[in-house]
A and B are shown apart, each in its own frame.
Chain A
Amino acid sequence: MRDLAPRLPSSPGFWRSPLRGPWFTSVLGLVLLVGITVLFVTGLLSYAAYNPDLAPVNDKTPDKGVLGFYLFAWPTDPPWLYRLTQGVHVTLGLVLIPVLLAKLWSVVPRLFTLPPARSVAHALERISLLLLVGGALFEFVTGVLNIQLDYLFPGSFYPLHFYGAWVFFAAFAAHAVLKTPIALRNLRAMREERDDLVSPRPVAPTVSRRGALWFVGGGSLLMFATNAGRGFDGPLRATAVLSPHGGPEPGSGPNGFQINKTAAHVGIDPAETRDDTWRLVVTGRSGTVRLGRAELLAMEQHSVALPIACVEGWSTSDQWWRGVRLRDLAARVGHEDDPPDVFVESLQRRGAFRSGALRANQVADPRSLLALYVNGETLSADHGHPARIIVPAAPGVLNTKWVARMTFGDLG
């Protein structure tokens, strides 16, 4: 009996929780199989939403090679597309944190299994598990830090999270292929099987397996309840008590909705945005025109209700924007019938997206505006006064604020 009371984690008897076993691990594994697949797909969609293949300025991972194989022209319909996909990506990621932690807890005895490898295949699999566990934690940690604007990680978020996702997914896919049949079999077999995860000398339980699942599910529910509200304005947002862009709105009135980057933060000088100094420089096939606010207001004005959706997973409800259609601006400089791509530059001094490119389908959409008003009032400084882009379904950072220059047909 002496060897059954071991002090080393490599002995099965070291692990005493009566909860560990194939059933518990299989349930959590299958939840993660579905959840992480959705995270991966919505993550890939988010990359596509930036239209990285359109212009270098939109692409934070230009050396992606074949990893960009699936890219496509991001549509403008439905207008809430990015709001949905990115809201799901971030909220689901937060909701899965308790499941991931529980899954890792449930299999931790295997980390210490001796001998380290029983065969070449087993050795390879254990190395792939380092990519799996390290990759999962790397992706969750970089994501969670990024939405809190805590840029602790070693490099720019975009390449780390994108390439990290592919490293992680490589290991995740193999793990899913190897383990899903076993997990399904474990769930079908109602009786608990003998397994290396089952403790040979369990302590008396303080909670049932079902209770433990409620515990994990409760954690997920808590994450959902305190985060889902960031996708809506007003009282729903107030329920997101601990998350960034949750809680109360930044102000009241027509301009009192969520802001990403205030005017002061990106170095906008109020002297440059006054009616008598600001001019929009628009270049196209027929040359360059310089338009003041009065000239823009003399053009046909249109209204549209569109949300703003950020890569960080928060979004606003629909706001009423009013301004000039992008395709009317294209027509003003010689692109009457075939609106081309456009390169938009901001007055911003700082920020990774102080310029951005929009594709022809986005320019052609009648709902795509250079907005001068929001919710019936002139844009505030923090929302991009004197003029900002608003394009249906585009990620927030491509809705350039404080627009200074638009170049149609030449993406620089």
Chain B
Amino acid sequence: MKRVLTSRSLPRPVIGGPFRILLLGCTFALAGYAGVRLLAGDWLGVALWFVGSALLHDLVLLPLYAVVDRAVTAGLDAAHHRAWTAYVRFPAAFSGLLLLVWFPLIGGRVDASYAGVTGLSADGFLTRWLLVTAALFGGSALLLALRLLRSATKRRSPDVH
């Protein structure tokens, strides 16, 4: 801890640590070797996917869910139900996670090929996702109700314990 503080107060060298530079040199050599093979086909498409996925995550997905989360928190705060936040956040995030991962199946993007390849129907995914979402929110609401009930009972009969 002390050492970190001392080194921070000193002016930093412009080059940086030789070990770090050597290590990163190895990284770029290996990444370059694999990279030229990765880009051998549709190089523009692959580069767009590679960089685009990072940008899409950092500049679109993350701000989007952060803003939604902040709106929910602020809304519950305004209603003086701050403690309820987790009961909304958990089911919403889990349902969103399942949608994020399985959107091709849930959204019916691959219905025809899925049925042709697997011999299975691709129809049920949207329904099942909605059911799982309902179960998540329902379960969360049930837990919240139990918690409210318990604290209400406690408040009414403080002499029980």
A residues at B contact (CB < 8 Å): 61, 63-67, 94, 97-98, 101, 104-105, 108, 111, 118-122, 124-125, 127-128, 130-131, 133-135, 137-138, 141, 144-145, 148-150, 153-156, 159-160, 163-164, 166-167, 169-171, 173-174, 177-178, 189, 193, 206-207, 211, 215, 218-219, 222-223, 226, 241-245, 247-248, 250-251, 258-262, 264-265, 382
Question: Which residues of B are at the interface with A, using a C-beta cutoff of 8 A?
Answer: 1, 12-17, 20-21, 23-31, 33-35, 37-38, 40-42, 45-46, 48-51, 53-54, 57-58, 62, 66, 73, 82, 85-86, 89-90, 93-94, 97-98, 101-102, 104-106, 109-110, 113-114, 116-120, 124-125, 128-129, 132
Instruction: Find the residue from A169, A207, A244 having the highest chain B CB count within 10 A.
Output: A244
Q: How far is the CA of A150 from the CA of B125 in the complex (A)?
A: 15
**Partner of A137 from B15, B31, B45, B54 at Cβ < 8 Å:** B54
A265 near B116: Cβ-Cβ < 8 Å: yes
The distance from the CB of A365 to the nearest CB of chain B, in whole angstroms, is: 28
User: Is B93 a contact partner of A159 (Cβ separation < 8 A)?
Assistant: no
Secondary structure of the A contact surface, majority rule: helix
Contact B85 A138 (CB under 8 A): no
Q: Contact between A120 and B62 (Cβ–Cβ < 8 Å)?
A: no
**How far is it, in angstroms, between the C-alpha of A167 and the C-alpha of B49 when the chains are bound?**
14
Q: A65-B33, A150-B104, A154-B42 are in contact. Are A121 and B97 (CB under 8 A)?
A: no
B1–A149 touching, CB < 8 Å: no
Supposing A138-B49, A250-B118 touch, asked if A173 and B27 sit within 8 A by C-beta, the answer is yes
Q: Which of B105, B116, B132 makes the CB contact (< 8 A) with A148? A: B105
Which residues of the partner chain A approach B46 to less than 8 Å between Cβ atoms? 154-155, 160
Flag if B104 contacts A148 (CB, 8 Å).
yes
Residue of A nearest to B25 (CB): A124
Smallest CB gap from A119: residue in B:
B16
